A = this chain, B = another copy of it.
Protein backbone atom coordinates (compact mmCIF):
# COMPACT_ATOMS: atom_id res chain seq x y z
CA UNK A 1 0.00 0.00 0.00
CA UNK A 2 2.60 2.53 1.13
CA UNK A 3 6.18 2.07 0.05
CA UNK A 4 7.41 0.62 3.30
CA UNK A 5 10.35 -1.70 3.18
CA UNK A 6 9.50 -5.26 2.31
CA UNK A 7 10.68 -6.40 5.71
CA UNK A 8 8.36 -4.05 7.53
CA UNK A 9 5.42 -5.26 5.49
CA UNK A 10 6.35 -8.88 6.15
CA UNK A 11 6.40 -8.24 9.86
CA UNK A 12 3.11 -6.41 9.75
CA UNK A 13 1.36 -9.24 7.94
CA UNK A 14 2.72 -11.82 10.34
CA UNK A 15 1.64 -9.76 13.32
CA UNK A 16 -1.79 -9.24 11.86
CA UNK A 17 -2.39 -12.89 11.32
CA UNK A 18 -1.29 -13.81 14.81
CA UNK A 19 -3.12 -10.96 16.53
CA UNK A 20 -6.19 -12.05 14.66
CA UNK A 21 -6.19 -15.60 15.88
CA UNK A 22 -4.56 -15.31 19.30
CA UNK A 23 -5.34 -11.77 20.34
CA UNK A 24 -2.92 -8.94 20.93
CA UNK A 25 -1.88 -9.87 24.46
CA UNK A 26 -1.87 -13.54 23.54
CA UNK A 27 0.73 -13.02 20.84
CA UNK A 28 4.40 -12.72 21.66
CA UNK A 29 6.98 -10.73 19.75
CA UNK A 30 9.01 -13.88 19.27
CA UNK A 31 6.10 -15.63 17.62
CA UNK A 32 5.70 -12.72 15.25
CA UNK A 33 9.39 -12.68 14.47
CA UNK A 34 9.37 -16.38 13.76
CA UNK A 35 6.31 -16.10 11.53
CA UNK A 36 7.84 -13.18 9.65
CA UNK A 37 11.18 -14.92 9.33
CA UNK A 38 13.11 -12.08 10.92
CA UNK A 39 14.95 -11.50 14.15
CA UNK A 40 12.96 -10.19 17.09
CA UNK A 41 15.04 -7.05 17.22
CA UNK A 42 14.06 -6.18 13.70
CA UNK A 43 10.47 -5.72 14.80
CA UNK A 44 11.57 -3.20 17.37
CA UNK A 45 13.70 -1.50 14.77
CA UNK A 46 10.62 -0.84 12.65
CA UNK A 47 7.80 -0.48 15.15
CA UNK A 48 9.52 0.76 18.30
CA UNK A 49 7.51 -1.49 20.56
CA UNK A 50 4.59 -3.88 20.64
CA UNK A 51 2.11 -1.06 20.91
CA UNK A 52 3.56 0.32 17.70
CA UNK A 53 2.32 -2.75 15.89
CA UNK A 54 -1.13 -2.31 17.38
CA UNK A 55 -1.25 1.32 16.38
CA UNK A 56 -0.24 0.42 12.82
CA UNK A 57 -3.14 -2.03 12.69
CA UNK A 58 -5.62 0.58 13.77
CA UNK A 59 -4.29 3.23 11.44
CA UNK A 60 -4.19 0.91 8.46
CA UNK A 61 -7.70 -0.31 9.04
CA UNK A 62 -9.37 3.02 9.52
CA UNK A 63 -7.66 4.81 6.67
CA UNK A 64 -9.64 3.07 3.95
CA UNK A 65 -12.63 2.40 6.18
CA UNK A 66 -13.21 6.11 6.68
CA UNK A 67 -12.49 6.79 3.03
CA UNK A 68 -15.44 4.65 2.06
CA UNK A 69 -17.71 6.53 4.41
CA UNK A 70 -16.47 9.88 3.24
CA UNK A 71 -17.05 9.12 -0.42
CA UNK A 72 -20.58 8.06 0.43
CA UNK A 73 -21.26 11.34 2.17
CA UNK A 74 -19.95 13.32 -0.75
CA UNK A 75 -22.50 11.77 -3.08
CA UNK A 76 -25.43 12.50 -0.78
CA UNK A 77 -26.48 15.66 -2.59
CA UNK A 78 -27.14 14.02 -5.91
CA UNK A 79 -28.57 10.64 -5.02
CA UNK A 80 -31.16 8.73 -3.05
CA UNK A 81 -29.83 8.22 0.51
CA UNK A 82 -31.11 4.65 0.60
CA UNK A 83 -29.09 3.80 -2.48
CA UNK A 84 -26.01 5.44 -1.05
CA UNK A 85 -26.45 3.66 2.28
CA UNK A 86 -26.72 0.35 0.45
CA UNK A 87 -23.64 1.20 -1.51
CA UNK A 88 -21.72 2.10 1.61
CA UNK A 89 -22.82 -1.15 3.25
CA UNK A 90 -21.74 -2.98 0.13
CA UNK A 91 -18.32 -1.41 0.16
CA UNK A 92 -17.75 -1.77 3.89
CA UNK A 93 -18.60 -5.45 3.76
CA UNK A 94 -16.36 -5.80 0.76
CA UNK A 95 -13.52 -4.03 2.48
CA UNK A 96 -13.81 -6.19 5.55
CA UNK A 97 -14.11 -9.23 3.32
CA UNK A 98 -10.85 -8.33 1.62
CA UNK A 99 -9.16 -7.57 4.94
CA UNK A 100 -10.95 -9.98 7.17
CA UNK A 101 -8.00 -10.61 9.48
CA UNK A 102 -7.45 -6.95 10.14
CA UNK A 103 -11.15 -6.30 10.50
CA UNK A 104 -11.76 -9.02 13.00
CA UNK A 105 -8.78 -8.06 15.08
CA UNK A 106 -9.49 -4.34 15.14
CA UNK A 107 -13.14 -4.94 15.87
CA UNK A 108 -12.33 -7.14 18.83
CA UNK A 109 -9.36 -5.29 20.24
CA UNK A 110 -11.23 -2.02 20.16
CA UNK A 111 -13.45 -3.35 22.90
CA UNK A 112 -10.50 -3.61 25.26
CA UNK A 113 -10.12 -0.78 27.67
CA UNK A 114 -6.51 0.22 27.22
CA UNK A 115 -4.83 3.57 27.06
CA UNK A 116 -3.61 3.03 23.53
CA UNK A 117 -7.08 2.19 22.26
CA UNK A 118 -8.47 5.37 23.75
CA UNK A 119 -5.68 7.49 22.36
CA UNK A 120 -5.72 6.09 18.87
CA UNK A 121 -9.41 5.52 18.33
CA UNK A 122 -11.00 8.71 19.57
CA UNK A 123 -10.41 10.62 16.36
CA UNK A 124 -11.45 7.77 14.13
CA UNK A 125 -14.66 7.13 16.00
CA UNK A 126 -15.58 10.78 15.98
CA UNK A 127 -15.25 10.88 12.22
CA UNK A 128 -17.14 7.63 11.76
CA UNK A 129 -19.96 8.98 13.91
CA UNK A 130 -20.21 12.11 11.83
CA UNK A 131 -20.40 10.18 8.59
CA UNK A 132 -22.94 7.59 9.70
CA UNK A 133 -25.11 10.07 11.53
CA UNK A 134 -25.19 12.36 8.50
CA UNK A 135 -26.09 9.45 6.28
CA UNK A 136 -29.02 8.32 8.43
CA UNK A 137 -30.36 11.77 9.27
CA UNK A 138 -30.17 13.04 5.71
CA UNK A 139 -32.26 10.07 4.66
CA UNK A 140 -34.79 10.75 7.38
CA UNK A 141 -35.05 14.44 6.51
CA UNK A 142 -35.52 13.55 2.86
CA UNK A 143 -38.45 11.35 3.89
CA UNK A 144 -36.74 8.28 2.51
CA UNK A 145 -36.09 6.70 5.91
CA UNK A 146 -38.54 6.25 8.73
CA UNK A 147 -38.07 8.45 11.74
CA UNK A 148 -35.49 6.53 13.78
CA UNK A 149 -33.11 7.35 16.65
CA UNK A 150 -29.90 7.61 14.67
CA UNK A 151 -27.52 6.56 17.46
CA UNK A 152 -29.43 3.41 18.26
CA UNK A 153 -29.74 2.50 14.62
CA UNK A 154 -26.08 3.08 13.91
CA UNK A 155 -25.10 0.77 16.74
CA UNK A 156 -27.51 -1.79 15.38
CA UNK A 157 -26.00 -1.44 11.91
CA UNK A 158 -22.45 -1.65 13.16
CA UNK A 159 -23.32 -4.85 15.00
CA UNK A 160 -24.60 -6.38 11.81
CA UNK A 161 -21.63 -5.21 9.77
CA UNK A 162 -19.06 -6.58 12.15
CA UNK A 163 -20.59 -9.84 13.28
CA UNK A 164 -19.64 -11.95 10.24
CA UNK A 165 -15.99 -11.06 10.60
CA UNK A 166 -15.83 -10.87 14.35
CA UNK A 167 -17.00 -14.41 14.78
CA UNK A 168 -16.08 -16.01 11.50
CA UNK A 169 -15.10 -19.17 13.31
CA UNK A 170 -18.50 -19.35 14.91
CA UNK A 171 -20.18 -18.83 11.56
CA UNK A 172 -18.06 -21.46 9.92
CA UNK A 173 -18.10 -24.16 12.55
CA UNK A 174 -21.64 -23.71 13.76
CA UNK A 175 -23.46 -22.62 10.65
CA UNK A 176 -21.18 -23.74 7.85
CA UNK A 177 -21.20 -20.21 6.56
CA UNK A 178 -17.80 -19.13 5.32
CA UNK A 179 -17.48 -15.40 5.03
CA UNK A 180 -14.11 -15.75 3.39
CA UNK A 181 -16.08 -16.79 0.32
CA UNK A 182 -17.84 -14.36 -2.01
CA UNK A 183 -21.03 -16.37 -2.08
CA UNK A 184 -21.82 -16.00 1.60
CA UNK A 185 -20.82 -12.38 1.76
CA UNK A 186 -23.19 -11.69 -1.12
CA UNK A 187 -25.97 -13.49 0.71
CA UNK A 188 -25.30 -11.44 3.80
CA UNK A 189 -25.14 -8.25 1.77
CA UNK A 190 -28.56 -8.97 0.30
CA UNK A 191 -30.06 -9.27 3.76
CA UNK A 192 -28.59 -5.96 4.81
CA UNK A 193 -30.12 -4.40 1.71
CA UNK A 194 -33.41 -5.90 2.79
CA UNK A 195 -32.82 -4.35 6.16
CA UNK A 196 -32.51 -0.95 4.51
CA UNK A 197 -35.61 -1.43 2.41
CA UNK A 198 -37.86 -3.06 4.97
CA UNK A 199 -36.66 -1.76 8.27
CA UNK A 200 -35.35 1.66 7.42
CA UNK A 201 -37.48 2.67 4.42
CA UNK A 202 -40.38 0.33 5.15
CA UNK A 203 -41.12 -0.35 1.49
CA UNK A 204 -42.25 -3.64 0.03
CA UNK A 205 -40.15 -6.74 0.61
CA UNK A 206 -37.91 -7.85 -2.22
CA UNK A 207 -39.04 -11.33 -3.26
CA UNK A 208 -36.42 -13.86 -2.32
CA UNK A 209 -35.74 -16.29 -5.07
CA UNK A 210 -32.50 -17.87 -4.02
CA UNK A 211 -32.52 -18.58 -0.35
CA UNK A 212 -30.13 -20.71 1.59
CA UNK A 213 -31.48 -22.49 4.64
Judging by beta carbons under 8 Å apart, are B155 and A175 in contact? yes
Q: Which of B22, B159, B208 contacts A113 (CB 8 A)?
A: B22
Interface centre among A149, A153, A167 (most CB of B within 10 A): A149
Q: Which residues of B contact A146 (CB under 8 A)?
A: 205, 208
Q: Would you call A166 an interface residue if the criterion is a C-beta within 8 Å of the partner chain's C-beta atoms?
A: yes
Q: Which of B126, B151, B170, B194 contacts A199 (CB 8 A)?
A: B194
Q: Which residues of B contact A110 (CB under 8 A)?
A: 167, 170
Judging by beta carbons under 8 Å apart, are B104 and A148 in contact? no
CA distance A101 to B112 in the complex (A): 12
CA distance A211 to B27 in the complex (A): 44
Chain A: residues with CB nearer than 8 A to chain B? 20-26, 104, 108, 110-114, 122, 125-126, 128-129, 137, 146-156, 158-164, 166-167, 169-171, 173-177, 184, 187-188, 191-192, 194-195, 198-199, 202, 204-205, 208, 211-213
CA distance A26 to B25 in the complex (A): 5
A interface majority secondary structure: helix
CA distance A22 to B116 in the complex (A): 12
CA distance A191 to B150 in the complex (A): 11
**Closest Cβ neighbor of A113 among chain B residues:** B21
Q: Which residues of B contact A129 (CB under 8 A)?
A: 174-175
**Closest Cβ neighbor of A154 among chain B residues:** B175
Taking the closest CB of chain B, its distance from the CB of A182, in whole angstroms, is: 14
Q: Which residues of B contact A148 (CB under 8 A)?
A: 191, 208, 211
Q: Which residues of B contact A25 (CB under 8 A)?
A: 22-26
Interface centre among A198, A205, A208 (most CB of B within 10 A): A198
Judging by beta carbons under 8 Å apart, are B150 and A171 in contact? no
CB<8 Å pairs between A and B, sample of 9: A22-B112, A23-B23, A26-B112, A148-B208, A151-B175, A152-B177, A152-B188, A155-B171, A199-B199
